[in-house]
Structure 1
Amino acid sequence: MGRRVLITGGGSGIGKAMATTFAAEGARVLVTDMDGEALAQCPGNWLKMTGDASDPEHMQAVFTRISDEWGGIDVVCANAGIAGPTALVEDVEPEDFRRCLAVNLEGAFLAAKFAAPIMKAQQSGVILITSSNAGINGFPNRSPYSAAKWAVIGLMKTLAMELGPYGIRANAIAPGCVEGPRINGVIEREAKAKGTTPDIIRAGYEAGVSMRAFVTAQDVANMAAFLASDGARLVSGQVIPVDGHTENPDPKV
């Protein structure tokens, strides 16, 4: 049988691309997402669970199902996340800040918390956390998101230290701007806040990247597949950007 893979936030975007890529390699996949309609559009042979990755009861239920149906887990992609507000720090509401951290950071924590005992018993496993270029460089007007994505890197490095002796690897992927509805929404909100056009904001983002292009969800999924493979058997505790090389995280056009 193929590897057993969990992807949180797997109903669309990066998560769905990861699930599709692992499934194409013969893996059994379980995807979770808050969007039940998105999950309904996923292939029928995937296991699916609707719920909030930052809810301990939901995540406990996910891992109970994994144990019952698969008897273990080989790869956990802690990918669930939300964009959070687009605003200067003084204009961010505390509840919006907390919600952004809950989904992006607590969701990754819970995935690792429940995966660790299973993987320790197996003496094997891979945990991949989706961070962001914003977790390396910062991101003006996106303080909650940037704070969360920096925090998951600290979580990942600690997991690598705690779990490495048990044959478990942990890494983080740091995508740049990923083509799709989420970044389009961010660009539109930033353009509104700055009194300019989305095209100008998009051009500014692209100008700050050496390769002058946004990445795709598939680019990120390809990196996840590599990091989960035996080809990366001694890669652990690392942050791997998939961003075309960011020269300037806050370019001005």
Structure 2
Amino acid sequence: MSARVVITAGASGIGLAMAKAFRARGDRVWVTDVDASALSVVPQGILASRVDAADDGEMSGFFKEISDVWGGIDVLCANAGIKGPTAAIEDMDLAEWRDCLAVNLDGAMLAAKHAARMMKAQGAGVMTFTSSTAGLYGFPYRAPYAAAKWAVIGLMKTVAMELGPFGIRANAICPGSVNGPRIDRVFEAEAAAKGMTPEEVRAGYAAGTALGRLSDAEDIANMAVFLASDAARMVSGQVMTVDGFTINPDPKV
């Protein structure tokens, strides 16, 4: 029987790779995003809605629609996130800090909040949160992002404890640097902050992993599919790092 899968920020990048991977195994998939242009080109067979993951009212309305259309949800991938500002801590803008935490942390909490009500009623479900290796090691010049992603892990572990008795599993995936437009923008911003070129920053990140390369979005999607499968039925409260094994979280070249 196909699963009912909801993915926040699922119109591009890691979220879209997750959507395609779940759809490929025959699941019903519904993605949200704030980018209307990206939503307009989501592959056929995937439902798509424009929703601000950090807006409780919009998320409430979206999950009501899920209830009306699907009657429940089996898998939640709380994937919404933004890179936030790149700046030294003494130069950090409070408004930018709060915007970053709102999407990365509040968005994860709201997704879990609304999905939990449905999953508890049906006595089963899987929640997968997208954190980051920044949530394990910290991240120079990216304090709000690292703080939010660290908090996502604490949120996940708490949710796993609360909801485990109701047959609900929760885990987090920590990607490292993932090839794509988003990491390219990160490299550009960090290069400017450090007085380097984007190519030098990229080379440093790759050299900071044991495998010597960056991940692809499909690597993260494959982990999400595994965590939602029966093969992972005893996996809950865990942090699954998909990064080629980071051996130097602040690489220099």
With the shorter chain as reference, the TM-score category is over 0.9
Report what 1:124 is aligned to: 124
Q: Distance in 2 between matches of 1:53 and 1:37?
A: 17
Over the matched positions of the two proteins, sequence identity in percent amounts to: 63
Q: What is the DSSP-based 3-state SS (H/G/I as helix, E as strand, rest coil) of the residue aligned with 2:64?
A: helix
Report what 1:71 is aligned to: 71
Matches within 5 A, 1:29-178: 29-178=29-178
Cα deviations across residues 71-93 of structure 1 (Å, max 9, x unaligned)? 01000000010000111111110
Cα deviations across residues 199-244 of structure 1 (Å, max 9, x unaligned)? 1111111111000000000000000000000000000000000000
1:237 maps to 2:237: yes
Q: Distance in 2 between matches of 1:163 and 1:239?
A: 17
Q: Does 77-86 or 187-196 show the bigger shift?
A: 187-196
| Code of the aligned partner of 1:3 | A
| Code of the aligned partner of 2:9 | G
Matches within 5 A, 1:202-213: 202-213=202-213
Q: Distance in 2 between matches of 1:138 and 1:174?
A: 12
Post-superposition offset of 1:180: 0.5
- Alignment length, in residue pairs? 253
| Code of the aligned partner of 2:87 | A
Unpaired runs of 5+ in structure 2?
A: none
| Code of the aligned partner of 1:246 | T
Post-superposition offset of 1:44: 3.1
Q: Distance in 2 between matches of 1:120 and 1:193?
A: 46
Cα deviations across residues 39-96 of structure 1 (Å, max 9, x unaligned)? 1111232211112100001111111011000001000000010000111111110000
Q: Distance in 1 between matches of 2:2 and 2:57?
A: 28
Q: What is the DSSP-based 3-state SS (H/G/I as helix, E as strand, rest coil) of the residue aligned with 1:110?
A: helix
Contact 2:175 2:243 in 1 (8 A): yes
Q: Does 11-20 or 194-203 show the bigger shift?
A: 194-203
Report what 2:190 is aligned to: 190
Q: What is the DSSP-based 3-state SS (H/G/I as helix, E as strand, rest coil) of the residue aligned with 2:38?
A: helix
| Code of the aligned partner of 1:167 | G
Q: Structure 1: which 4+ aligned runs deviate by more than 2 Å?
A: none
Q: What is the DSSP-based 3-state SS (H/G/I as helix, E as strand, rest coil) of the residue aligned with 1:52?
A: coil
| Code of the aligned partner of 1:99 | D
Q: What is the DSSP-based 3-state SS (H/G/I as helix, E as strand, rest coil) of the residue aligned with 2:54?
A: coil
Report what 2:252 is aligned to: 252
Q: What is the DSSP-based 3-state SS (H/G/I as helix, E as strand, rest coil) of the residue aligned with 1:128?
A: strand
Q: Does 194-203 or 155-164 show the bigger shift?
A: 194-203
Q: What is the DSSP-based 3-state SS (H/G/I as helix, E as strand, rest coil) of the residue aligned with 1:248?
A: coil
| Code of the aligned partner of 2:219 | D
Q: What is the DSSP-based 3-state SS (H/G/I as helix, E as strand, rest coil) of the residue aligned with 1:16?
A: helix
TM-score by length of 1: 0.99
Cα deviations across residues 132-166 of structure 1 (Å, max 9, x unaligned)? 00000100010000000000000000000000001
Contact 2:51 2:62 in 1 (8 A): no
Q: What is the DSSP-based 3-state SS (H/G/I as helix, E as strand, rest coil) of the residue aligned with 2:129?
A: strand
Q: What is the DSSP-based 3-state SS (H/G/I as helix, E as strand, rest coil) of the residue aligned with 1:101?
A: helix
Report what 2:220 is aligned to: 220
Q: What is the DSSP-based 3-state SS (H/G/I as helix, E as strand, rest coil) of the residue aligned with 1:174?
A: strand
